[in-house]
Amino acid sequence: MHCPVCGHDCVTDAPALLAELPGRFAPCPDCMGLVYDKRSPPPDIDTAEPCPSCGKRFIDEVFAAIYRIMAEEGDLAGTEPLAAAATPLVHPGTALRRAPYLPPRSLVLLSRSVGERAAARLVGEVPEVRGVVRTDAGTPGVRDTDAAPKEYTLLAGCDVRADVFATRRGPIVVYKQQSVLHVEFPRGRNEKILSLEREIARHRPQTFVDACSGAGTLGLAAARAGVPRVIANDAWFAAACWTACNLRVNREFLGIEEVTMHRAYDDLRRRPVARDPILVATAAGPQEIEVYQGDLRLLPGVLPPGIDLTALDLFEKEDAGKADRITRAWRTRVGGAIFIP
């Protein structure tokens, strides 16, 4: 599938991605790798090359190579611990029982220290690195349509990657561009999905709304659970775009016959934060699925009657007053059951 960030084939249909997953991060019989102390600089020894048999390399060896390039370019002094170089995000993200052996282009790096020269070298010289993102304070996205949005900086490569989440009906695959969307790495349990599944079992909804969809995890999980109509919305362009993209990625699991894109990625990017909801994508098949970009406070104006269940996964859930005001307004205008996952 065409990648909207780099134009290559970074996005794979869910069944194909999952077919490769069982052995993706496992070593072959010829693989070897040293375990380094993450609290110290890497030792002054040559790092191992990728395995000649399978092309994978142990993550500690990869990180030692990353650390040395950053030190050579002056981004690290050489006295920092190995873990200070970057935060690794594997592609695809899945709950791992042991440290991975990495195949080519399977790692997106998030780092506050990395510069442009080092980033270019990391993508060019370390075969496992897929993309390099420079981070700073804050979380990518938009907290409110009246506030300035937040993005990190993609310095080199492509930062599109997928996460695989378990649901009671089977896995879902959620792609995202990591410089513009928050990290939501899979663990053994996903409390938000479990919360959604409890609410679906309790209310048996015919229509579910995910009013702050992010990259679409809860909407996809609701569709996977068989809810007849799912409506996803987010004010942030990247969230709406990747929710729509993930409908295509998971269409075989959902029985979707066709996904129609009403807005292109570049169009959405030109208006990164939307107030009045616009229709981004629709999916046709046994279920109806719609994706909007807009302020959740204005979303009731485009919703059909009879909403049974709504998830309000607010960016600032710790602001109890704001969450209560939004919930009360939604209950008055839309009705149905409401939960904050």
The pLDDT tens digits of the residues spanning 234-246 come to: 999 999 999 999 9
- 18-27, 74-83, 152-161, 258-267: segment of lowest average pLDDT: 258-267
61, two tokens: 């060896």
Structural contact between residues 128 and 146, judged by C-beta atoms closer than 8 angstroms: no
Q: Where among 161, 176, 208 does a domain terminate?
A: 161
Residues 211 and 145 in one domain: no
Question: What does the pLDDT look like over 37-56, one tens digit per residue?
Answer: 999 999 999 999 999 999 99
Do 326 and 230 sit in the same domain of this protein? yes
Query: Both 155 and 195 in a single domain?
Result: no
Tell if the pTM clears 0.85, that is, is over it. Answer: yes
170 located within any domain: no
Query: Can you give the pLDDT at residue 317?
Result: 66
The answer to whether residues 337 and 196 touch, using CB atoms and an 8 Å cutoff, is no
Could you tell me which residues come within 8 angstroms of residue 62 by beta carbon, excluding any fewer than 6 positions away? 47, 102, 107, 126, 128, 129
Mean pLDDT, residues 157-181:
97
108, 204: one domain: no
8-12, 129-133, 186-190, 225-229: least confidently modelled range: 186-190
Question: What's the confidence (pLDDT) of residue 79?
Answer: 96
Let me know whether 91 and 226 are in one domain: no
pLDDT at 99: 96
User: What is residue 323's predicted lDDT score, i.e. its pLDDT?
Assistant: 84
Instruction: Pick the closest to residue 167 from 253, 242, 230 (CA basis).
Output: 253
81 and 198 belong to one structural domain = no
76 shares its domain with 119:
yes
Q: What percent of the chain has pLDDT over 90?
A: 84
Give the pLDDT band (50/70/90) at residue 320: confident
**Does some domain include residue 23?**
yes
Backbone dihedral region of 281: left (phi > 0), alpha (psi from -120 to 50 degrees) or beta?
beta
The pLDDT tens digits for 250-309 are 999 998 988 999 999 999 999 999 999 999 999 988 899 999 999 999 999 999 999 999
Per-residue model confidence (pLDDT) at position 322? 81
| Of residues 339, 3, 256, 327, the one with CA closest to residue 154 | 3
CATH code where residue 299 lies: 3.40.50.150
Domain assignment present for residue 88? The answer is yes
Of 1 and 305, the structure prediction assigns the larger pLDDT to 305
Q: pLDDT digits over 196-211, tens only?
A: 999 999 999 999 999 9
Please tell me whether residues 195 and 150 are part of one structural domain: no
50-54: long-range contacts, CB 8 A cutoff, minimum separation 24: 50/104, 50/127, 50/128, 51/27, 51/101, 53/28, 53/29, 54/27, 54/28, 54/30, 54/101, 54/103
Q: Is residue 106 part of a domain?
A: yes
Average pLDDT over residues 150-156: 96
- Which of 111, 143, 161 corresponds to the end of one domain? 161
Of 161, 180, 209, the domain-final residue: 161
Number of domains in the chain: 2
pLDDT of residue 207: 97
Instruction: Outline where DSSP puts E strands in 65-167.
Output: 87-90, 101-102, 107-111, 129-134, 153-157, 160-165
Q: Is residue 178 part of a domain?
A: no
What is the predicted pLDDT for the residue at 4?
Answer: 86
Average pLDDT, the chain: 94
What's the mean pLDDT in 83-101?
Answer: 96
pLDDT of residue 144: 78
- Both 154 and 230 in a single domain? no
Residue 4: inside a domain, yes or no? no
| Structural domain that includes position 236 | 189-339
Asked if residue 333 has pLDDT above 90, the reply is yes
How confident is the model at residue 285, as a pLDDT? 87
198, 261: one domain: yes
**Cβ partners under 8 Å of residue 243, min gap 6:** 213, 214, 215, 216, 219, 232, 234, 280, 281, 291
State mean pLDDT over 100-115: 98
Q: Look at residue 56 and tell me if it is in a domain.
A: yes
- The answer to whether residues 272 and 211 belong to one domain is yes
For residue 318, pLDDT over 70 is answered with no
Secondary structure class of 332 (helix, strand, coil)? helix
Claim to verify: residue 143 and residue 205 sit in the same structural domain: no
What pLDDT sits at residue 147? 79
As given in the structure block, the two tokens for residue 214 are 């992010």
Residue 194 within any structural domain of the chain? yes
